């Protein structure tokens, strides 16, 4: 299937002369190709790469001191949207604790009331970080840490608690918590 060439009428010699006269003083354009604008480079996720690098460095570095390694169940909690940097500072004990309470030997009911009073007093005094000692449950009849589990649940229910985590060994380890409180 060959296509027919398009129909082009033949030009007479007089038409050609007329065209040549019309374009006699025309100069040819210096034609060059117009270079397209350079392409933009693909976006580079700097912050994501930085965060990933920090996580890898922390994993490789491990704890600062071998004494910081402690057996036992470590607790931690952070409200959604809380910056990871704040939780990391809390876990490293970088916040000055403005108040502390020791719940050792209390029943669950008494401990809950004391904890509520303690947190209310923290807000009155504008304490941003507090330490709560709940113990490790070694003296518990049930064999497990009763207050530790209950304090974990109670703190998660409170709107004024932004985050909490197990303390460093020098501050009680898995028997105590650092609690970061919302500013009022």
Is the pLDDT confidence value at 72 over 50?
A: yes
61 vs 9: which has the higher pLDDT: 9
Lowest mean per-residue pLDDT among 4-13, 86-95, 135-144: 135-144
Q: Token pair for residue 43?
A: 């976006």
What residues does 133 pair with on adjacent strands?
102, 176
Full-model pTM = 0.59
Instruction: Give percent of the chain with pLDDT exceeding 90.
Output: 32
* C-beta separation of 174 from 166 below 8 A: yes
Q: What is the pLDDT of residues 137-151, one digit of tens each?
A: 766 666 668 888 899
Q: Which domains can be identified in the chain, with CATH numbers?
A: 75-181 (3.30.1370.110)
pLDDT bin (cut points 50, 70, 90) of residue 155 is very high
Average pLDDT over residues 124-136: 91
Going along 26-137, which residue ranges are E strands? Answer: 76-78, 99-102, 129-133
Q: What is the pLDDT of residues 156-179, one digit of tens each?
A: 999 999 999 999 989 888 889 999
Lowest mean per-residue pLDDT among 17-26, 107-116, 135-144: 135-144
Q: Computed over its alpha carbons, how large is the radius of gyration of the chain? A: 37
* C-beta separation of 174 from 136 below 8 A: yes
Query: How does the average pLDDT of the chain come out, rounded?
Result: 83
* C-beta separation of 183 from 126 below 8 A: yes
């Amino acid at each position: 299937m060959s296509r027919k060439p398009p129909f082009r009428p033949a030009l007479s010699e007089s038409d050609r002369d007329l065209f040549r006269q019309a374009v006699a003083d025309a100069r040819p354009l210096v034609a060059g190709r117009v270079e397209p604008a350079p392409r933009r480079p693909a976006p580079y996720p700097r912050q994501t790469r930085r965060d990933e690098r920090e996580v890898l460095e922390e994993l490789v570095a491990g704890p600062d001191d071998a004494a910081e390694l402690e057996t036992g169940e470590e607790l931690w909690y952070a409200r959604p949207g809380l910056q990871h940097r704040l939780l990391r500072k809390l876990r490293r004990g970088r916040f000055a604790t403005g108040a502390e309470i020791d719940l050792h030997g209390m029943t669950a009911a008494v401990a809950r009331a004391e904890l509520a009073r303690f947190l209310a007093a923290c807000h009155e005094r504008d304490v941003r970080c507090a330490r709560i000692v709940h113990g490790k449950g070694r003296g518990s009849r049930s064999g497990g840490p009763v207050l530790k589990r209950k304090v974990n649940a109670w703190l998660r229910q409170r709107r004024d608690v932004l985050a909490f985590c197990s303390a460093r060994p020098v501050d009680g380890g898995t028997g105590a918590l650092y609690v970061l409180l919302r500013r009022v």
